Chain A
């Protein structure tokens, strides 16, 4: 469904994504892992077309990402990005105006779960509330690909359970979910595949069940093995 071929992004003298070759298929929840600055966010933004590659290509169903792919890819950035004049209701209306796959009913149901009020102004939301709103409006789309960048950032334990449930609910045989997070143990309970990135490069992509069976290690163990010398 998604394929990056030799994808590279250079900012000035820093290579954020370095010749990444990664193929992801529908029917999976993929954990995109790596320490800060490993290139996860830049890679995701190139999938959405927000960042243009320096070289290489990003394909969605065999075609370069662009206008058409944006209709099918739902992206949640880690930073708040709503217009400051918007209320929670306005955010929903905005998505309704631009995305054919958006469901107002689903949005309302997700907001109820997240205990968010339609009248709330986005500029007055706490970071936790903002994170919930971003997830609610992104998952309110019936997209083919969902990309959630740090979906658990700033969210308390109980709300995290709700979000995890909503993410799993969004998954399906014809859907691809890509999640990046520092909370590796949290991700282990959701994902069935993992892509490990380091210094802009893809270290490896693994099927988690197969990794447990053949190598006898969990995703968390593998994360420690790959990045332990870097972070520890």
Chain B
């Protein structure tokens, strides 16, 4: 498992390096502009850093599906599938590596964002004013949502389980279409269409939770449903791979 994860990381290392390089460049521009009191450049670089964080994290997630697709549809698939590793291990290592990469990217961008905000406030405002503003914004979304350790933990659990569900849905769609349409031209399109259909079904299942349970409970139930669906899709994806996938 450790070796599989190592090579999964190595396959996606190039893109991660590019994202990291761009972030370092924009951060240097941001800090220089802040230090030199160039407000317009500070604002622009902060905005670009925010966009990079959002799209960077999103791309790290999508890249895992692209890598799986490549691993099943090019001759490089032999490297992976002729090793004595079960499909359960192969898929599991892909999911875990991607999850860890996303957590690392999330922590990195949140830490950087926090540092930049502190620096901004140090120069242009007060820290507690921002905290108040943040709470007001959150409370305006939902009065019930309280910013305490429990709700933050539930929110994070909900995010992680939602990511697991999306990734396992994408894997399942790609594996089904590759196993059934191996070598056919419409393979990629079919897998995308199947992903959309499965996502709609997953969304419909989650919408069946009554609103009366409250936001926190709803997040918890949604997380539970997402995790169950993830496990089901992971199991059937690996089983299909083991029995029917020809590369």
Contact = CB atoms under 8 A, between A and B. Distances in A.
B136 interface: no
Contacts of A71: 84
Interface string A71-98: 1000101011111110000000010011
B50 interface: no
Interface in B7-66: 7, 10-11, 14
Of A45, A68, A75, A84, which is in contact with the most chain B CB atoms at under 10 Å from its CB?
A45
B92 to A, nearest CB: 14
A83 B78 CA distance: 10
A48 B84 CA distance: 10
A222 interface: no
A45 B245 CA distance: 12
B75 A52 contact: no
A121 to B, nearest CB: 14
A49 B81 contact: yes
Contacts of A203: none
A183 B105 CA distance: 53
B11 A83 contact: yes
B78 A50 contact: yes
A83 B3 CA distance: 15
Given A77-B75, A81-B76, A83-B76, A50 B7 contact: no
Contacts of B217: none
A223 interface: no
B85 to A, nearest CB: 7
| Secondary structure call for the A interface | loop
Contacts of B79: 81-83, 94
Interface residue tally of chain B, by bracket?
A: 20 to 34
A71 B84 CA distance: 6
A74 B82 CA distance: 9
A129 B191 CA distance: 37
A182 B200 CA distance: 52
A97 B85 CA distance: 12
Contacts of A75: 78, 82
A70 B244 CA distance: 17
Given A11-B183, A81-B78, A85-B10, A52 B245 contact: yes
Nearest to A11: B183
Interface in B217-247: 243-247
B146 to A, nearest CB: 48
A82 B74 CA distance: 11
A67 interface: yes
Given A83-B11, A85-B10, A97-B3, A50 B76 contact: no
Contacts of B75: 77, 79-81
A67 B87 CA distance: 9
A67 B75 CA distance: 20
A82 B76 CA distance: 6
Contact of A50 (B82, B84, B243, B244): B82
A26 to B, nearest CB: 20
Contacts of B244: 52
B148 interface: no
Contact of A98 (B11, B83, B86, B246): B83
A155 B223 CA distance: 57
Contacts of B86: 67
Contacts of A67: 84-86
Nearest to A68: B84
B78 A70 contact: no
Contacts of A51: 246-247
Given A52-B245, A94-B79, A99 B84 contact: yes
Interface of B: 3, 6-7, 10-11, 14, 75-79, 81-86, 183, 243-247
18 contacts: A11-B183, A49-B82, A50-B81, A51-B246, A52-B245, A52-B246, A70-B84, A77-B78, A80-B75, A81-B75, A81-B78, A82-B79, A83-B10, A83-B79, A85-B10, A85-B14, A97-B6, A98-B83
Given A50-B78, A51-B247, A97-B3, 15 more contacts: A11-B183, A49-B81, A49-B82, A50-B81, A50-B82, A52-B245, A67-B85, A70-B82, A80-B75, A81-B75, A81-B79, A83-B11, A83-B76, A83-B79, A85-B11
The 6 closest A-B pairs by CB, nearest first: A98-B83, A81-B78, A70-B84, A51-B246, A97-B3, A71-B84
